[in-house]
Amino acid sequence: MKQTFEKKELKKKSENLADWYTDVVLKAQLADYSPVPGAMVIRPYGYAIWEKVQGIMDGYMKAAGLENAYFPLFIPHSLLEKEKAHVEGFSPELAIVTIGGGEKLKDPLVVRPTSETIMYEMYKKWIHSWRDLPVLINQWNNVIRWEKRTYLFLRTMEFLWHEAHTAHETEKEAVAMCLTAQEWYRKIYEEYYAIPAYLGTKSKSEKFAGAKDTYTVELLMPDGKVLQGATSHNLAQNFSVPFEIAFQNREGGRDFVWQTSYAITTRSIGALVLVHGDDNGLVVPPMIAPTQVVVMPILKKDADSELLFAYCGEIKEALDNAGIRSKLDKREEPSVGRRFNEWEVKGIPMRFEIGGKEFADHTVTIARRDTGEKITVDRKDLLPTVEKLLKTIQKSLYDKAVAHLKANTTDASTFDEFEGVMKTTRGFIRAFWCEEASCEAAIKEKTKANTRCLEQGAEAGKGICVHCGKPATHRWLFGQSY
């Protein structure tokens, strides 16, 4: 699709991150504003990235025995009320249908904010014996949460996700499922998005409404704010008891199932934009890029295009046969320079520039998106060079993000130190905390930082709370949330 802007018109990340972010999302054609306030349209390029995430996650889940299904968009309000903490947690964000078919509904319908309740009403019908367990079901869908402050991808009224809901015979199995899902999310972020993550457990006040424990993947953004990347929840028997999801156990007695739920959302695309983008637009890591290489024939006026196009077509075919995702840009309009801008803003990892000289020499000029570096490669060496470069770019982006994370994770032993960090660089702060909700709330009120997680593998120790001075046994990670 023809672009109408010059790269120089793109706002600068180095000058205003928020304005740059919105500008890049729109001009890279990831998404656009819709007529529905707070809801966005995900454009084909943005959806192609989401499809990559879907494919990766779907593969993990199916290998572990999960199956995909679909449950209704509308949920009877009475079902939400069966689990008190759950309905209280979501009440401010609910969209409720009170009229259907021109008639007032006796039981209002909630537009799906999450599917625990509608799915568990069905689980009650399907589970009778320990032989029916585990139940491992996932669905890919959209959800509605009535956000008052929205931000493309990062916080929208409607978003896409997968939500897996599993039921187990024992809590041990349920916890193992939660940790497995958390590891899948870590791999998606670190190995595909090239974004390093902290893994851990949420505090009681920050956990999912209705969960016993929430396991999280936490990410650092360039402005020092932090983003919750994905979560998995040990629901214990908090839903199975009120929903009466009971089964005959191996001893012949009656027991309730142990449940989990977990999800990753289109918010992850916002993290990609923020972490790797630069003043020239997106920088998409090769592992998650829908297009890894764009092949661009460069014609001079009155030049014979057929031979050059044939040469470029052969190169694209070789890339495709090697499993390298590519596009051939043979458009006459807009100009070559504008098309360079377009692909650069979209963050395509590599651009092949092939003109008369390359054709005559049987070479290809490769431009890297992450560094801007150009090299000329013999045609016979092209595939191994490209494969090596894609790995190099992926690692380089990850290493850069790791360095940023390490440089912006600070240990604070006093509240003065804590406040000092929050007034300057922000980032993650590691500090002892007494684990009392009132103290947690006070820290957030004074600094805007809340608990992000208790790091996975964190050892207990003896310390004093960074805020109130009471005895504390764990250092927690704090940060200011998006």
| Together in a domain, 347 and 470 | no
- Look at residue 25 and tell me whether its pLDDT is greater than 60: yes
What average pLDDT does the chain have?
A: 95
- Look at residue 302 and tell me whether its pLDDT is greater than 80: no
pLDDT of 300 = 82
Domain containing residue 428: CATH number: 3.30.110.30
Cα separation, 422 vs 446, whole angstroms:
10
| Together in a domain, 328 and 464 | no
pLDDT range class, residue 9, cuts 50, 70, 90: confident
Domain boundary (276, 303, 323) is at: 276
Helix (H) or strand (E) holding 49: helix 44-63
Full residue range of the structural domain in which residue 438 is found: 409-479
pLDDT range class, residue 2, cuts 50, 70, 90: very low
pLDDT of 189 = 98
pLDDT range class, residue 297, cuts 50, 70, 90: very high
Q: Is residue 399 part of a domain?
A: no
Cα distances (Å, whole numbers) of residue 414 to 189, 428, 461, 477? 32, 15, 17, 14
pLDDT of 147 = 87
Express as a percent the part of the chain with pLDDT over 70. Answer: 98
Q: Is residue 113 part of a domain?
A: yes
* Residue owning tokens 């205003």: 16
Q: Would strands 474-479 and 450-455 be described as parallel, antiparallel, or unpaired?
A: antiparallel
| Together in a domain, 53 and 175 | yes
Q: Spell out the residues 6+ positions from residue 154 whose beta carbon is closer than 8 angstroms to its own.
A: 227, 267, 270, 482
Average pLDDT over residues 128-140: 98
Torsion region of 252: left, alpha or beta (phi above 0 gives left; psi -120 to 50 gives alpha): left
Domain boundary (211, 241, 276) is at: 276
pLDDT in tens, 172-222: 999 999 999 999 999 999 999 999 999 999 999 999 989 999 999 999 999
- Look at residue 233 and tell me whether its pLDDT is greater than 60: yes
pLDDT of 1 = 42
| Together in a domain, 377 and 306 | yes
| Together in a domain, 61 and 154 | yes
pLDDT range class, residue 83, cuts 50, 70, 90: confident
| Together in a domain, 323 and 465 | no
pLDDT of 332 = 86
| Together in a domain, 466 and 432 | yes
Q: Is residue 90 part of a domain?
A: yes
pLDDT in tens, 386-444: 999 999 999 999 999 999 999 999 999 999 999 999 999 999 999 999 999 999 999 99
Q: Is residue 455 part of a domain?
A: yes
CB-based contact 168:124 (threshold 8 Å): no
pLDDT of 116 = 93
- Look at residue 3 and tell me whether its pLDDT is greater than 50: no
| Together in a domain, 210 and 177 | yes
Q: Is residue 320 part of a domain?
A: yes
Token reading at 31: 């998404």
Average pLDDT over residues 65-76: 97
pLDDT of 8 = 61
pLDDT of 303 = 64
Query: Is the backbone peptide bond immediately before 286 cis, with ω within 30 degrees of 0?
Result: no
- Look at residue 61 and tell me whether its pLDDT is greater than 50: yes
Quote the number of domains for the chain.
Answer: 3
| Together in a domain, 347 and 423 | no
Domain containing residue 367: CATH number: 3.40.50.800
Q: Is residue 253 part of a domain?
A: yes
| Together in a domain, 232 and 150 | yes
Domain containing residue 52: CATH number: 3.30.930.10
| Together in a domain, 331 and 373 | yes
Cα separation, 156 vs 160, whole angstroms:
10
Q: Is residue 181 part of a domain?
A: yes
Token reading at 127: 């589970």
- Look at residue 7 and tell me whether its pLDDT is greater than 60: no
pLDDT range class, residue 81, cuts 50, 70, 90: confident
Q: Is residue 96 part of a domain?
A: yes
Give the ranges where 64-133 is alpha helix by DSSP (H).
Answer: 77-80, 84-90, 116-126
CB-based contact 24:32 (threshold 8 Å): no
Q: HEC profile for 310-346? A: HHHHHHHHHHHHCCCCEEECCCCCCCHHHHHHHHHHH
| Together in a domain, 349 and 444 | no
pLDDT range class, residue 91, cuts 50, 70, 90: confident
